[in-house]
Amino acid sequence: MQLSFPVSETPDDATTEKGRRLFAGQTDFLKGVVAMSGLPPADRTEVCFAGRSNVGKSTLINALTGRKGLARASNTPGRTQEINYFTLSDSHYLVDLPGYGYANAPLPVVEKWQKLLKSYLAGRQTLRRAFVLVDARHGIKQVDEEIMSLLDSAAVTFQCVLTKTDKVKPRDLEKTLSQIRERLAPHPAAFPELILTSSEKGDGIATLRATIATLE
């Protein structure tokens, strides 16, 4: 019986090269958006990255683009309340969503962000996939479930990307994978493959680049 939510296989040479070429192009910060009216024109393929605070989202975006300072991590979880847009070559947008699951942000700030996020996910026709980042040391938490349910209701396909896999022993990683597979099963919008990454070691970066490059 085929395993549900298997780990993505290493892409073939042609697909890997397609991903390499895409991310070898110019990548720039475009703008931070605080309202739907500020979104750039929906004129290209768009992917977004979501994850709870301190999951390693900024580090992963920097590893993908090969630019260490492109996406900046805040020292204060939950401080960044903007949807940050980056141009990738002239064909894609990379979208960095604010980290969620923080306890110190004021309630009105959280509510405003949630409203913007719901509007963005439901109304962005060029959004091809959301990548939901999950710390390999901790697995899926309740706050991850909330964003996944939101993606279900918005009918936005999301793919789970494990971060910091180099910090976990193989036996513990298998336990985490089992937990993630179990928690993903009820979500209709979940893409049926997992991507394992380590920004520090470079593991999975080529696979994620290739995955993004094949989305049109």
Nearest to 77 by CA among 110, 53, 107: 53
When pLDDT is cut at 50, 70 and 90, the band that residue 2 belongs to is low
For residues 130 and 79, which has the higher predicted lDDT (pLDDT)?
130
The single-letter code of the amino acid at 30 is L
Please check the confidence at residue 57 and state whether its pLDDT lies above 50.
yes
- At residue 175, the pLDDT reads 96
**Tens digits of per-residue pLDDT, 22-52?**
999 999 999 999 899 999 999 999 999 999 8
Q: Indicate the pLDDT class of residue 144, thresholds 50, 70 and 90.
A: very high
Q: Which residues, in sequence order, are CB contacts of 171 under 8 Å at separation 6+?
A: none
Q: Tell me the average pLDDT across 46-62.
A: 92
Q: What's the Cα-to-Cα distance from 166 to each of 105, 136, 172, 176, 197, rounded to whole Å?
A: 30, 9, 11, 13, 8
How far from 81 is each of 59, 70, 88, 201, CA to CA, in Å? 18, 17, 22, 29
Residue 25's CB: how many other CB atoms inside 10 A? 13
What average pLDDT does this structure show over 126-139? 97
Closest listed residue to residue 89, CA positions, set 69, 72, 65: 65
Cβ distance 127 to 83 under 8 Å? no
Taking 50 as the threshold, does the pLDDT of residue 1 lie above it?
A: no
Q: How far apart are CA 143 and CA 77, in angstroms?
A: 14
Architecture of domain 13-213: 3-Layer(aba) Sandwich (3.40)
Q: Is the pLDDT of residue 76 over 70?
A: no
Give dist(CA 118, CA 189) in Å, integer.
15
Taking only the tens place, the pLDDT of each residue in 80-124 is 578 999 999 999 999 999 877 665 667 787 788 888 888 999 889
Every domain of the chain and the residues it spans: 13-213
Q: What is the DSSP letter of 106?
A: -
- Beta carbons within 10 angstroms of residue 175's beta carbon: 12
**Distance (Å) of CA 161 to CA 30, 65, 74, 151, 172:** 24, 16, 21, 15, 17
Tokens of 76: 């204060």
Residue 199 has pLDDT above 90, yes or no: yes
Cα distance between residue 127 and residue 155, in whole Å: 11
User: Containing H/E element for 47?
Assistant: strand 45-51
Q: Is the pTM of this model over 0.85?
A: yes
Residue 143: φ, ψ to 5°: -65, -30
User: Which residues contact residue 169 at a Cβ distance below 8 angstroms, ignoring those fewer than 6 apart?
Assistant: none
Residue 3 has pLDDT above 70, yes or no: no
